[in-house]
């Protein structure tokens, strides 16, 4: 999505220190994103969040709960307002944000890491793996490989991704095989 610059997967909402995938304790698997509210609004992100899961579902376990963490009173108000417009009983939890622990490297940019040649191109650009994870270009390419984005949107941003021609062509071929994404280039539904 335009306006989203960083995505990191990890663990939040629990009390134990330094959780890992195998010792997650009372944390949940979470996604943390950094976005520019001048380009994409928090309300737009919330609309996608509600579309991407069943808010009436009873969670299987705390690890796999649906929840939204608010970082400010403004976010809390927007979440409550969006919750009020949903049909049925909302079982998705509203939780004050306290701390986020990044997940292990092999969980980050999951779809991209399954393509070693493209991954290598980006790892050559960033001095640390944290830089790779925090990269806006890497987040977009991971999204494309995960099944999002349209061909038109890709052509608008391709020069910003810093990839080789071979990698660009590979991503193009992936987008050709796919029907139009539900996300428009501006991130509005």
> Which CB sits closer to another protein, 63 or 177?
63
State how far the alpha carbon of 142 is from the alpha carbons of 57, 126, 180, in Å. 28, 16, 17
> Which CB sits closer to another protein, 67 or 177?
67
> Which CB sits closer to another protein, 85 or 177?
85
Q: Which stretch binds another protein (CB under 8 A): 44-52, 145-153, 165-173, 174-182?
A: 44-52
Per-state percent for the chain, helix, strand, coil, to nearest 5:
40, 15, 45
In whole angstroms, how close is the CB of 97 to another protein at the nearest point? 6
Pairwise CA distance, residues 102 & 14, whole Å:
13
Q: What is the 3-class SS of 86-105, one letter each residue?
A: CCCCCCCEEEECCCEEECCH
For another protein, the binding residues (CB under 8 A) are: 5-6, 12-13, 28-38, 42, 45, 49, 52-53, 57, 59-60, 63-69, 71, 75, 93, 97, 100, 104-106, 113-114, 116, 119-129, 132, 135-137, 140, 157, 159-163
């Amino acid at each position: 999505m335009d306006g989203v610059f960083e995505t990191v997967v990890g663990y939040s909402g629990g009390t134990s220190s330094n959780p890992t995938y195998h010792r997650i304790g009372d944390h949940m698997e979470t996604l943390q994103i950094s976005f520019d509210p001048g380009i994409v609004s928090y309300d737009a992100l919330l609309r996608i969040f509600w579309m991407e899961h069943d808010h009436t579902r009873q969670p299987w376990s705390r690890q796999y709960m649906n929840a939204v963490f608010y970082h400010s009173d403004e976010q809390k108000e927007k979440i409550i307002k969006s919750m009020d417009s949903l049909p049925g009983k909302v079982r998705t939890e509203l939780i004050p944000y306290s701390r986020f622990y990044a997940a292990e490297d092999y969980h980050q940019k999951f779809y991209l890491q399954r393509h070693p040649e493209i991954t290598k191109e980006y790892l050559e650009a960033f001095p640390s793996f944290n830089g790779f994870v925090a990269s806006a270009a890497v987040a977009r390419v991971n999204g494309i490989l995960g099944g999002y984005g349209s061909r038109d949107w890709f052509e608008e941003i391709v020069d910003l991704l810093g990839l080789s021609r071979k990698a660009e062509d590979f991503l193009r071929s992936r987008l050709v095989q796919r029907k139009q994404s539900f996300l428009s280039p501006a991130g509005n539904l």
